[in-house]
Amino acid sequence: MTSDNPNVDTQSIQFKAETRQLLEILIHSLYTEREVFIRELISNASDALTRLNFEMLTNRDVLDPDAELGIWVEVDADQKRLKIKDTGIGMNREEMIENLGTIAHSGAKAFLQSLQQSQGTVADMIGQFGVGFYSAFMAAEWIRVTSRSYRPEDQAMSWYSTGSDNFTIEPAEMTERGTVVEVQLKEDAAEFAQEYRLREVIKKHSNYIPFPIYLGEKNEQVNQKTALWRESPRQVSEKQHHDFYQQLTLDIEPPLSYLHLSIDAPVQLYAVLYLPASGERNVFSLRKQDGLMLYARKVLIQEYTLDLLPEFLRFMQGVVDSEDLPLNVSRESVQSNRVMAQLKKVITSKVIDHLKSLANDKPEEYIRFWKEYQRAIKQGIATDPDYWQALLPLLRFHSLKHPDSYIALDDYLKEMKLGQEKIYYLLGDDDRSIAGSPHLEMFAHQGYDVLFLTDPMDPFMLLRLNQYQEKDLVNAATRAADLPATEQDEKEESTEDRPRLSEADTNAVIERFKQQLGDKISDVHITQRLVESPARLVDPEGALNTEMQRVYRLLNKDFEVPQKVLEINPQHELIRKLSALPEENVLSAAIIEQIYEDALLIEGLHPDPASMIARIQSIMKAALD
């Protein structure tokens, strides 16, 4: 650049070799979205204003002490020119050379060496280089920076570069304090000379900059300025939270609950987190993906951040802002390091604690949450090694004694019978089919509760959850679920006047079942675990457990379904009358087949229920005859 005034002192300064290389990489490789250069320039302006604020706390001898602290964005669409002005701390000649003439003052050579040795991307490695200003060269043919320092005695200076080998610096005419960044846009970046586009970018990335941002000749303030999450939690009303949530998501239904955090240790953060009323994203929602909005000093860094919560909590919506956050140069991705791990740990613990408080203090609202998000909590138990135990108190179940309400594991323990040492559960496809299961008959008869597990995620959860508060969880359909005998139970058993088969008749009827069913079953036993049903099916000893069978089935994995053991109730009237029926009677075989297939149907294992119709009709006809 050549100055219009031939008498001014214009100096051309060459970039260092490694700085030129780095600048080339930054211009062509670093950013995935071009618009971020506007965010970077506005962030620099905000930083300059913040620095002036600190200076004026102890020094009133500054240029224009009463000037408004703000940022002005102007465009000339015809010239394709963008101008961003601030009334911040400004720069003199030496500061311009230091801040704009070198990249992060040092380390460019080290960066280039790291780049040559690494297989990663530029963005992954460049966190220690403060070069956001240079991102403007993605869209600029040239950049001119004119600045006047806050020191009254300092002269205004102008810096100019096309992003090539050198930059020029010269005195300038500027009476007010601050900095003006002028960008001559490339032809393919002309969109950034349109006010509507700038308004969109500013609202997206810089809406909560703590200084007003004015756009265009009308000086329209386009940023909201007040960051609700940085307000004192006690001073923000529920209505304000609901309004902010609606603005954030466009969800017309208020959140089920919200959490407002202001934490200084072990890591500094501000956050507002919302629990949406529905697990299904509204078709008009502004939030199209999972993830929290991540800010650093009120500047948006990532719109959808998945690194702040474990996967099972990604239904949460909200904002996290931290002063401690180390960023990469583009601010488009956060470096994986100890601070991010601390943020995730603190936020996750706070969310889990909040859900526990909701369950204890507002149980009806918690049940609304449970109906929407139970699968996510169960996923956490099944897959997360760090938090699965903390999630256990959040579980809720229907059960044999609570078919129309929900109970927690702690509630189950409080209601356990004297001498009961196990927590019983039963897997099934739905509550209605479970409630009619023959596996529950003895539990109901003796007053034991059984949890109903009908969600597809339940068998995955049970692969990890096998004990709670030192009580084993046992499947009620297995032989391991034998109930402890009590004095009352034994009294009832001894006085119960029910007809019984003799040992010989029992053995005979078992043999008839074996002969008729053949290799459809692995064995036939008698059982005392049935009350109303004639038979049930159980897995043989050593077979793949029921939970894994369901997991394989849900994953469409090939596995060999074990042949079941048929257990029959020798006291059931149907079994006793079958025993008395002559073996050659045509009904004998049909009844045995029907008892077996009824058991298959109850277990949800029958491959073709309609095939039973002809047999049922023949049994009905024989009964009528």
- Reported as a single tens digit per residue, the pLDDT across 55-76 is 888 888 999 999 999 999 999 9
Asked if 118 and 204 sit in the same domain, the reply is yes
Whether residue 555 is contained in a domain is answered as no
**Domain of 454: which CATH number?**
3.40.50.11260
Confidence tier at 5 by pLDDT (50, 70, 90): very low
Q: Are residues 64 and 79 in the same domain?
A: yes
Residue with tokens 């999630």: 391
Q: Measuring CA to CA, which residue among 147, 137, 135, 49 is closest to residue 97?
A: 147
- First vs last C-alpha separation in the chain: 112
pLDDT tier, 36 (very low <50, low <70, confident <90, very high otherwise): confident
DSSP code at position 240 = H
232 with 273, same domain: the answer is: yes
Residue 615 inside a domain? The answer is yes
In eight-state DSSP terms, residue 483 is P
Instruction: Give the pLDDT mean for 323-349.
Output: 74
Dump pLDDT digits (tens) for 363-418.
Answer: 999 999 999 999 999 999 999 999 999 999 999 999 999 999 999 999 999 999 99
Q: Cα(515)–Cα(511) distance, rounded to whole angstroms?
A: 6
* CATH value at residue 48: 3.30.565.10
Domain end residue (candidates: 433, 448, 481): 481
Residue 429 — pLDDT band, cuts 50, 70, 90? confident
> Both 208 and 232 in a single domain?
no
CA distance 40 to 139: 13
Strand partners, 524: 566
Task: Answer yes or no: is 432 within a domain.
Answer: yes
Range 460-468 average pLDDT: 93
Tally of domains within the chain: 4
68 and 139 housed in the same domain: yes
Is there a single domain that holds both residue 24 and residue 87?
yes
My answer on whether 190 and 263 are in the same domain is no
Residue 375 located in a structural domain = no
Q: Please indicate, yes or no, if residue 295 is contained in any of the structural domains.
A: yes
Lowest-confidence segment of 191-205, 294-308, 408-422, 448-462 by average pLDDT? 294-308
pLDDT number for residue 129? 43
Q: Which two tokens stand for residue 248?
A: 């954030």
- Show which of 221, 247, 269 is a domain's final residue: 221
Q: Which of 265-269, 287-291, 491-495, 559-563 has the lowest average pLDDT?
A: 491-495
Q: Quick one: 270 and 190 in the same domain?
A: no
Asked if residue 489 belongs to a domain, the reply is: no
* Percentage of the chain exceeding pLDDT 90: 56
**Closest Cα partner for 217 from 195, 247, 193?**
195
When the pLDDT of each residue in the chain is averaged and rounded to a whole number, the result is 86
pLDDT tens-place string over residues 582-597 = 888 878 999 999 999 9
For residue 443, give its domain range. Answer: 397-481
**521 found inside a domain:** yes
User: For residue 423, what are its two tokens?
Assistant: 């927590």
Statement to judge: residues 213 and 253 lie in one domain? no
Q: Are residues 101 and 214 in the same domain?
A: yes
pLDDT score of 39 more than 60: yes
> In CATH, what number is assigned to the domain containing residue 233?
3.30.230.80
Whether residue 386 is contained in a domain is answered as no
Based on the domain organization, do 322 and 346 belong to the same domain?
yes
Mean pLDDT of 108-127: 50
Co-location of 214 and 284 in the same domain: no
- Give per-residue pLDDT as tens, 73-112: 999 999 999 999 999 999 999 999 888 876 544 445 555 5
pLDDT at 487 over 90: no
Question: What is the chain's alpha carbon radius of gyration, rounded to the nearest angstrom?
Answer: 37
- pLDDT higher than 50, residue 266: yes
Boundary (domain end) residue, out of 176, 192, 221: 221
